[in-house]
Amino acid sequence: MTHPSEPHTSTESSAHFFLEGLVEAGIEYLFCNLGTDHATLIEELARAKALGRKTPTIITCPHENVAIHMAGAYAALTGKGQGVLVHVDAGTANAVMGMHNLMRSRVPVLLMAGRSPHTVHGELVGSRDNYVHFVQDPFDMASLVRPYTKWEYSLPSGVVAKEVVRRAHSVMHSDPQGPVYLTLPRETLAEAWEPQQVQSFSAEGYGPVHVGSSSLAQLKAVALQLIQAQDPMLVTSYLGRSATAFNALGELAELLGIRVYEYSSTHNCISRENVWFSGFDPSRGFGQTDVGMLLDTDVPWLPKYSKPESHTQWIHVDIDPIKKDFPLWGFATHTRIQANTATWLLDLLEVAKGLVTPEHQARVAKRREQAVSLHTQRAQKLKGEASEAGQVGAINPSFLCQTLNALIGEDDIVVNEAIRHSPNVMNHLVRNRPQTLFASAGGGLGYSGGMALGFKLANPKARVIQMVGDGGFHFSTPSSVYAVAQAQKLPIFTVVIDNGGWQAVKEATLRVHPDGYAAKTQEFNARLSGEKRNFEMVGQAFGAHAERVDDPAQLAPAIKRCLAAVDQGQAAVMVVQVPKLYN
């Protein structure tokens, strides 16, 4: 190692090689919230800019919650994990909830945090020079994120900067994908090395490992089981993360006559126009089913309330069928297959096409008649539900979603964080195209603003519509969301569904204590009140168009104004007053 102050023109800092490693790995963006730990990275970014060298593009995020969810959404849409750079343990702590969401969503992201300097007396470039360097050096900093990472490490030396980046990149993109965490000691980033000392590590030699399909014998067995079934059904939650899988599932349902249910879906998994799409309550199909499939789902139903028939044979196919990150799981299946469901479904289709008989297709045609009738009934029921506009000060949430549905495009992307209004969003925002509906698989609220920005970054042509509760909006660090929307020219459209508090918390109490004191006194400590609650003005403060709608008759014109603003490059926030959870 050489010291950077020595007159050695040929040396470069570890930070320089680290940034080069990120570029070589294909990391396009660093979603950043910076601090004293990043001094040499900041210096190298400025130097690279001055010298015309390529680095990842920096997206400055005033809050880490936005950074981590932006990176997650970008990866969910493009398949490419990005970098998030935060400040020591403090920034890591703010990003942890996002790590929980991304880990549960199996999305790759490289979270990086600088580490406080370890030298106290000025021994090295980057030694402690500030009060916070003494207090931001906890024992086992990585323990903050360890439950939510596949891999974590601390950069031991600039010599291995590129090898470490490659390793992090390959691990996060290997199946099942997920977040990784790397810490960067300040003095290590400031070390200097000769370029020939720092090797590159190619994707060809060190790239990710993917799970494929299953054996032909197994595919045949499953195909025959489905062909022989009297009335098969399927439950999925995140199969729609792949457009290929989405399309293959639609085709398979038609070929084999399989009723498809989504449960707690984080993606739209089948076109709502497909007659075999049977809604969001799998338990409705249990009675008739002799063969069932779980395909890309972590929680297919709630066992406390829904029990499949004992004679039903369940086939389970997933990138992670053992659910390695769930201490308990609790769903009995008869066949368990680890596979990439997109390639597996394509293979199954091929095999099944060679096995179906005219007799089977006649049986499917008969079932199809029933499916068409149920599909039509469902559509009519939903139409009826949304036809009632509601009152001034209590707009019907189904009417809200149906009105919005008529005004958005089929390739627009909806981010769902509507919580107890999720059924309205799922039923009335009719998403027929793959990758046009997303939610978090995790349970940490406040994801949808950052995610909406990440989708807009990944697909600037699509409109991105964020559906969020009033509680969720508070969690989303909204001043940071609209600051980034403005600075990065990422106009998103936020719809705040305001019911005056946390309906989910109220309902949870009633489920456990239906006749308790909370129920009798109607006191759930779930009220979000105050003389002024102008969520739209939070957006306005950072350049967004703002609307507040109390009257259902004003809804469509307000949506149109918001969409016009978004189309002209300005974010929009529309607060809609729905019935309050407290009278």
Ligand X SMILES: Cc1ncc(C[n+]2csc(CCOP(=O)(O)OP(=O)(O)O)c2C)c(N)n1
* Contacts with Mg ion, residue ranges (CB under 5 A): 469-471, 499
Contacts of 471 (CB under 8 A, 6+ apart): 419, 445, 501, 502, 504, 528
In the list 443, 460, 516, 569, the residue contacting ligand X (rule: CB under 6 A) is 443
Interface with ligand X includes 505 (CB under 6 A)? yes
Q: Which is nearer to Mg ion, 47 or 527 (CB)?
A: 527
447 counts as binding ligand X under rule CB under 6 A: no
Identify the CA nearest to 210 among candidates 305, 100, 320. Answer: 320
All residues at 6 or more sequence positions from 9 whose CB lies less than 8 Å from its CB, including other chains: none
Least Å from the CB of residue 407 to Mg ion: 23
240 or 471: whose CB is closer to Mg ion?
A: 471
Shortest distance in whole angstroms from residue 482 CB to ligand X:
18
Facing residues of 113 across strands? 86, 183
Give the one entry of Mg ion, ligand X, none that residue 420 binds, where binding means its C-beta sits below a cut-off of 5 to 8 angstroms depending on kind. Answer: ligand X
**Residue 367: contacted member of ligand X, Mg ion, none (CB under 5 to 8 Å, by partner type):** none
C-alpha 511: how far from its chain's center? Answer: 28
Q: Which stretch binds ligand X (CB under 6 A): 198-206, 495-503, 540-548, 565-573?
A: 495-503
Smallest separation, CB 90 to ligand X (Å): 18
From the list 14, 94, 340, 503, which residue makes contact with ligand X (rule: CB under 6 A)? 503
Using rule CB under 6 A, residue 64 touches ligand X: no
Q: Indicate the SS3 state at residue 547.
A: strand
The span from the CA of 427 to the CA of 144, in Å, is 38
The answer to whether residue 63 forms part of the interface with ligand X (CB under 6 A) is no
Element (H, E) at 559: helix 555-567
Of 12-20, 127-135, 374-382, 468-476, the window that binds ligand X (rule: CB under 6 A) is 468-476
Hey, is 414 helix, strand or coil?
A: strand
Residues 6+ apart with CB under 8 A from 262: 235, 236, 237, 268, 269, 270, 277, 279, 280, 426
* Residue 219 vs 437, nearer CB to ligand X: 437
Pick 123 or 523: Cβ nearer Mg ion: 523
The answer to the question of residue 398 lying near ligand X (CB under 6 A) is no
Residue 499 binds ligand X (CB under 6 A): yes
Q: Which stretch binds ligand X (CB under 6 A): 7-15, 54-62, 245-253, 439-447?
A: 439-447
**Residue 475 interacts with, from ligand X, Mg ion, none (CB under 5-8 Å by kind):** ligand X
Query: CB pairs under 8 A, 24+ apart, for 196-202?
Result: 197/159, 198/17, 198/158, 198/159, 198/161, 198/162, 199/162, 199/163, 200/21, 200/24, 200/162, 201/162, 201/163, 201/166, 201/167, 202/166
For residue 510, state whether it binds ligand X (rule: CB under 6 A). Answer: no
Work out the burial of residue 52: count CB atoms within 10 Å of its CB; fewer than 13 is exposed, 13-18 middle, 19 or more buried.
Answer: exposed
Task: State the first-to-last Cα distance of the chain, in angstroms, to the nearest integer.
Answer: 70
Task: Check binding of 478 to ligand X (CB under 6 A).
Answer: no
Q: Is 471 in the site for ligand X (CB under 6 A)?
A: yes
Taking alpha carbons only, the member of 383, 434, 479 closest to residue 272 is 434
Is 475 an interacting residue with respect to ligand X (CB under 6 A)? Answer: yes
| Residues near ligand X, by CB under 6 A | 97, 419-421, 443-446, 469-472, 475, 499, 502-505
